Structure 1
């Protein structure tokens, strides 16, 4: 992917692990609660999307490259309108069109306030799915009928089931589980391959990423893995893998993880479905309470 740099107004560079504390602070303070505005959401995809940052005290500007466009996050700073104007001026100096993504619905008014005319694009596949964590922990009512059936089957078929904190499990165990999962899935899409590579990267350095994680075992064997991060009232599910030969394993994993998290957060963000039919059915089946709708914004004038 072609490397791109703009100067002298803003200075962009690759993300380093040493940036994590500052990024986490800025995402919690100014982020739009989308999965993009998380440590893993940024760092896991830094190569695939050629993500770069400009980081100063109380000011973070992020861009990613996709489909030949440079897409800027809404500036993470107190005066976001000033930040938008700085980016637009910066792109004009480069002779480039100016795009912003991901822009939440409530952030669209910032462009009008900044004095710009815009064109927006929204794709349903970009939406983040948001769930009530207590609802997932309990799965009560008719709307969860299918998942309750899956969980009941799991409970009837398997004994000696335990959900463990990932830090209480030997890394070699869950890294081997991930390798076995990747081999069993046979996914050839570039984005799927990149996700698997970066998932292993995260699992190899849990402390640096500041993630929480769980391992589901049956008779001492790993059958499920869940890793994510907490920002504010949200838990972001970044890595979720399970052995589908175990009947109902995904429903059981989601319920047990949610039960452990319900005293820590209010919501679970299970990220996008990217218009994949199977993912869409799965994510809708857990009955989201809402979506974070993300827009791509083009500055017209």
Structure 2
């Protein structure tokens, strides 16, 4: 079986039905494999896809790397080996990404000569939703104190993102980007584009969201979706600094909204950013959704 470059096409909104169909039978666990992530970040990752004999193969290209992702779909050794060969032919340092637990096990069992390396910077943090919604015990004492301080200083209302408040959401994100000076930094510039895609295609992507409005003015938002039947994934969490502690309110309100439907909440990776890693670790993840890459020796 041969898979060729011309079999791939740039990802577009109509491809969501392919992802939905395959992921319904083969649920994923890592946020990087979601259609929402790939579509919204497509200007950064130049993502292309190929469906081959029921398997979904994803390719990404940036200025610094080119890589394929291990196929998602039915057990098809020919397709798996063909994708590995495509990746090795790239000649890149990390030509194949392995994001799902069963993929890692399959390669270890069937291709033991391949060297897979973990990339801790892109391990997703996965939390128990009931824990995030209640923040119990001594482990969360300081977070509860900061949350109570926020609530005393900035009494807030909580709403779902809907068509009726979407203009306010867009205004909030413009303010957030202005304060973070998104246009000065490459990755923030791409994130600005990704968030814009998320809100402009909100319903088509099956996204949901929550807004926090301290003192009557929208100051924070989360955007999330279903990752698999037991897990929701929070893609974006943005707040203005006017009221210190708003991110803690966003976190707990999102968890309270999701806890009755999903056992887990995936809050994505820390990308190796020290402050972000510390923040995510403080919430005591239940486990990680790990990412490995093929070291092309």
- Fold equivalence (TM over 0.5): yes
How far apart are the structure 2 equivalents of 1:68 and 1:177? 32
How far apart are the structure 2 equivalents of 1:212 and 1:242? 17
Q: Counterparts of 1:109-188 in structure 2 under 5 Å?
A: 109-115=105-111, 117-159=113-155, 161-167=156-162, 169-187=164-182, 188=184
Bigger Cα displacement from structure 2, 20-29 vs 277-286: 20-29
The structure-2 alpha-carbon separation of the partners of 1:220 and 1:298, relative to structure 1 and needing over 3 Å to count, comes to same
Offset, 1:104: 4.1
Does the residue aligned with 1:221 lie in a helix, a strand or coil?
Answer: coil
How far apart are the structure 2 equivalents of 1:9 and 1:245? 49
Offset, 1:285: 1.3
Bigger Cα displacement from structure 2, 149-158 vs 181-190: 181-190
Paired position in structure 2 for 1:289: 286
1:55 equivalenced with 2:43 (yes/no): no
The structure-2 alpha-carbon separation of the partners of 1:142 and 1:19, relative to structure 1 and needing over 3 Å to count, comes to same
How far apart are the structure 1 equivalents of 2:152 and 2:4? 64
How far apart are the structure 1 equivalents of 2:243 and 2:118? 37
Within the candidate set 248, 257, 272, 2:269 is matched to 272
Structure 1: tracts of 5 or more residues without a match: 1-5
Within the candidate set 207, 213, 217, 2:209 is matched to 213
How far apart are the structure 2 equivalents of 1:46 and 1:170? 26
The structure-2 alpha-carbon separation of the partners of 1:70 and 1:27, relative to structure 1 and needing over 3 Å to count, comes to farther
Within the candidate set 90, 94, 99, 2:95 is matched to 99
Contact 1:226–1:240 (CA under 8 A) maintained in structure 2:
yes
Contact 2:31–2:268 (CA under 8 A) maintained in structure 1:
yes
How far apart are the structure 2 equivalents of 1:95 and 1:261? 41
Bigger Cα displacement from structure 2, 140-149 vs 166-175: 166-175
Contact 1:111–1:117 (CA under 8 A) maintained in structure 2:
no
The structure-2 alpha-carbon separation of the partners of 1:80 and 1:292, relative to structure 1 and needing over 3 Å to count, comes to farther
Does the residue aligned with 1:76 lie in a helix, a strand or coil?
Answer: coil
Paired position in structure 1 for 2:188: 192
How far apart are the structure 2 equivalents of 1:91 and 1:290? 29
How far apart are the structure 1 equivalents of 2:296 and 2:103? 14
Within the candidate set 81, 86, 104, 1:85 is matched to 81
Offset, 1:105: 5.0
Contact 1:31–1:37 (CA under 8 A) maintained in structure 2:
no
Offset, 1:267: 0.8
Contact 2:214–2:243 (CA under 8 A) maintained in structure 1:
no
